[in-house]
Structure 1
């Protein structure tokens, strides 16, 4: 038995190392890509360059859609590492590793070490976790803070009274709220806890838990003060109307109004079922077997399931009630659901049905990778069309096809080796292979085109090193990847208003000034014969306008509805 336990420990350690290496794969080998990464890095870079860290900027405009905490993390990472390609991904990576450890520790404290490993491995195997860990979006950091707050609350409510854990939970919830407005969601766990206590006649074997929960208030205020305190001081001491407008936009429109009366990403009420069925693979395949098992434990009044599952249901209801929905919104549920699933998983994976479902998942993934690789390597019309839509060269076909072929072959080998008997290990191997191929192969190959660096390099070569560049109807990646200082005329300003400034700017030095313009936003006041089609990037087509192409004195206008469309997370 000791040898068997030692062997299991070695396998667990090997799996842990493999997961960490998979999350690290390719870090530093790509640049920020849309939709969200370039805007955050732009703001972080502006903080570092200007020394003004309180208010984030996107070009010359204040960026009021999100608090600056995540951008502070990126800027601080750059100060530490000195390299933006490493720094912009570091907060998400650290938050992912923290989340994995918190799930492991919760499983250990609420059950045992075996459950702890199942919790961590289950989370690491889900598609959405790996994807968000390797993206520079706020949501991975939010999930890290949300899971930390739940870790503190569950330790206090289920393990033993723990005032320090309550303070940590309050601080994490407060910091999460000023990182992205929904960071307060862990506090909802108090509702299923109160219901469970009522069902248990108020006696769970420990006294004083309810009184200690008041410590959530100072903890939350302290976490929120990380950003709200300096903002409040700035508002008190500065009469600048733009600062007042920034605070109103962020504290009101981007919180309450965004939730209750969303103006984009409007989806039907059942939208999150679709998210779970895809991004939560392969875990969602086990839900038909997990739900009855969870229900039996809920009926036994097991407090661990009442809190974990009750909180997850409340989060799902909260986000489903808003008309605005995105797949990342319910991501905070996933780590805690993996903890709730972990004690049941060993038994489920001894059943034939769940084993075959997971085996089929890996088999379909392998077959899809092999099929797409054949299409790419064979240069099929479909493959050429996919690259052409994204403005990518055909030279990528053998590179992408080779990586996908290798991934498919390795998955097939793992299927043959592990088969049904070790299907849990097979799923973990599949996740590690996927994120290694994604990090080392696919994303670096696509990076020049997804990040717009290839487009902006062509722009720099075409206009020459001494020319001045302006942007109209631009995207954040254009400004971020430019090889010189750029003049821009506002990001969210209607395109017609941008042209009202851009035209005179061109006229002042027509021999040396150029505009990069989205083709949809081209002005009638430009001589079309002189416009240079510079290519596509991120499914948008871009054109270069030399200063000589501007018709001085022209009064033509764009359509009234032509305006910058800013897609936010």
Structure 2
């Protein structure tokens, strides 16, 4: 391929993935509770001009290293704050990750396989979702992707540099994955001698220069409180003890991958099997990608704290395998495999349509129409994929998937998400609160809603655990405002509720006031 084709492919990737990642960044409020945490922490960094010690509600905050806060703070200086700035780093690195997959894939496999892999990654559902979210996972995924691909291309100084940036993004887990994946690959392929070529001495020094200064500074300023909270609780304890009930489910990530890699899930089994059985010159590359996938999936499956976003780092190698498989099937004319994938996709789409239809009918009547629109899009997509598959047209099948996902996500973001916004963001309630607030009385906020409340109101409020509601209401007789879960309010006895005045209710949230004497 000529450089002209290379730049054309880069433009295609930036155009398609850029549309998916940047079109909706500022269209919806930040979702509780995670997105407002990162946006508010970055804002407080700017307010106090302290870019070493993250803080929220004015208190020091040891949850994550500062990389994402720094990025949001920088974006806020450029774009003036708000939802767009809070999500900009994730969108930027999502596009960057797709480009890295292309640039690497074209060298490891071939030009077309690299292009297909990049578009597979950029149009997969979870990658799209987290590329539009103000959380750290996409940034970590980018740095981990860059580090591991640097190893494959023997750019070892870049490996150490990007691994260090991953550690400044989310902690030791970035270093853990690099060591385990690369070490596992070297042992499995009997190439441990490669370590001698990896410039370990200078590389470790480079890693330390980039990764350690923030940790040293935090220990200097905060001592063992930082070590115990960040390393002890947020890394070790959360791995060993479940923070949510989902942590007990060993199979938690199986449905997450099936749904999150949609619409390319239909190719997963064939792609992984093809990679495992590969005997040609791409065997080592496929082996590395499979080790990468298994390591990430296995680690987070063993972790007792599980969240949907955690396994995002396994999506780039999955996309590269699918891109390689699709290109190989296309070249070899594997028409039967194409038809089977189309049938599998049709079945998955039917299950998704049924699930969405049931959920919309149960949750909210307002969701019925947008879900029917999405169901229509999925039905047309499945029919088009099946039609082109039986016509043996690999190119049109792939284009149908890509265009279908662009249309699907547009309906999702423009017609479905606005309906459920009151259920996933405290912003509508904050707007109501601003109209009702007297500007002086204390405000009690349920812990889950507090980050969003602070971000949108500018008031720190008083954090309220659900079991403390009755005591907080009865504690004093002066005027006070409360924003809590509606179910918690409903559990208050009638005598207590008689002393309160409900001002607004949105979905699961309720705003009420204790007028006092």
TM normalised by structure 2 equals: 0.84
1:528 to 488, 497, 500: 497
After superposition, the C-alpha distances for 1:282-330 in whole angstroms (9 at most, x for unaligned) are 3332233224322322698932223222232233333333333333222
**Which stretch shifts more, 441-450 or 269-278?**
441-450
**Partner residue, 1:545:** 513
List runs of 5+ in structure 1 lacking aligned partners: 157-164, 236-242, 376-380, 389-393, 550-569
1:366 and 1:293 map into 2 onto residues whose CA distance is 24
**Partner residue, 2:364:** 387
2:50 and 2:381 map into 1 onto residues whose CA distance is 49
2:386 and 2:187 map into 1 onto residues whose CA distance is 48
Question: Structure 2 vs 1, CA of residues 487 and 268 (structure 1 numbering), >3 Å: closer, same or farther?
Answer: closer
Is the contact between residue 534 and residue 543 of structure 1 (CA under 8 Å) also seen in structure 2?
yes
Question: Structure 2 vs 1, CA of residues 290 and 445 (structure 1 numbering), >3 Å: closer, same or farther?
Answer: same
Matches within 5 A, 1:143-542: 143-156=141-154, 165-181=155-171, 182-184=173-175, 185-196=177-188, 198=190, 210-225=197-212, 227-235=214-222, 244-264=224-244, 265-297=246-278, 302-349=283-330, 350-360=333-343, 363=346, 383=360, 385-387=362-364, 394=366, 400=370, 404=374, 407=377, 411=381, 415=385, 418=388, 420=390, 421=393, 422-461=396-435, 463-474=436-447, 475-480=449-454, 482-483=456-457, 485-488=459-462, 490=463, 495-496=467-468, 507=477, 510=479, 513-519=480-486, 520=488, 527-537=496-506, 540-542=508-510
2:349 and 2:470 map into 1 onto residues whose CA distance is 50
**Partner residue, 2:79:** 81
Larger-Rg structure: 1
2:484 and 2:111 map into 1 onto residues whose CA distance is 58
Question: Structure 2 vs 1, CA of residues 437 and 219 (structure 1 numbering), >3 Å: closer, same or farther?
Answer: farther
After superposition, the C-alpha distances for 1:99-123 in whole angstroms (9 at most, x for unaligned) are 1111111112222222211221221
Question: Structure 2 vs 1, CA of residues 354 and 226 (structure 1 numbering), >3 Å: closer, same or farther?
Answer: farther
Residue 26 of structure 1: how far off its partner (Å):
1.5
Is the contact between residue 95 and residue 122 of structure 2 (CA under 8 Å) also seen in structure 1?
no
Residue 197 of structure 1: how far off its partner (Å):
5.2
Residue 188 of structure 1: how far off its partner (Å):
2.1
Is the contact between residue 173 and residue 223 of structure 1 (CA under 8 Å) also seen in structure 2?
no
Is the contact between residue 515 and residue 544 of structure 1 (CA under 8 Å) also seen in structure 2?
yes
**Which stretch shifts more, 296-305 or 125-134?**
296-305
Residue 173 of structure 1: how far off its partner (Å):
1.3
2:33 and 2:98 map into 1 onto residues whose CA distance is 26
1:430 and 1:442 map into 2 onto residues whose CA distance is 17
Q: How many residues align?
A: 505
Indicate the RMSD between aligned Cα atoms, in angstroms.
Answer: 3.8
Is the contact between residue 481 and residue 512 of structure 2 (CA under 8 Å) also seen in structure 1?
yes
TM normalised by structure 1 equals: 0.77
- Secondary structure of the corresponding residue to residue 89 of structure 1: helix
Question: Structure 2 vs 1, CA of residues 190 and 402 (structure 1 numbering), >3 Å: closer, same or farther?
Answer: closer
Residue 76 of structure 1: how far off its partner (Å):
1.7
**Which stretch shifts more, 299-308 or 140-149?**
299-308
2:295 and 2:307 map into 1 onto residues whose CA distance is 17
After superposition, the C-alpha distances for 1:134-190 in whole angstroms (9 at most, x for unaligned) are 12221111101110111211111xxxxxxxx32221122122123223111122233
Structure number with higher helix proportion: 2
After superposition, the C-alpha distances for 1:309-358 in whole angstroms (9 at most, x for unaligned) are 22322333333333333332222112023223332212335434442344
Question: Structure 2 vs 1, CA of residues 286 and 473 (structure 1 numbering), >3 Å: closer, same or farther?
Answer: same
Question: Structure 2 vs 1, CA of residues 413 and 282 (structure 1 numbering), >3 Å: closer, same or farther?
Answer: closer
**Which stretch shifts more, 138-147 or 36-45?**
36-45
List runs of 5+ in structure 2 lacking aligned partners: none
2:196 and 2:460 map into 1 onto residues whose CA distance is 57
**Partner residue, 2:114:** 116
Residue 219 of structure 1: how far off its partner (Å):
2.9
Is the contact between residue 342 and residue 382 of structure 2 (CA under 8 Å) also seen in structure 1?
no
2:56 and 2:192 map into 1 onto residues whose CA distance is 55
**Partner residue, 1:92:** 90
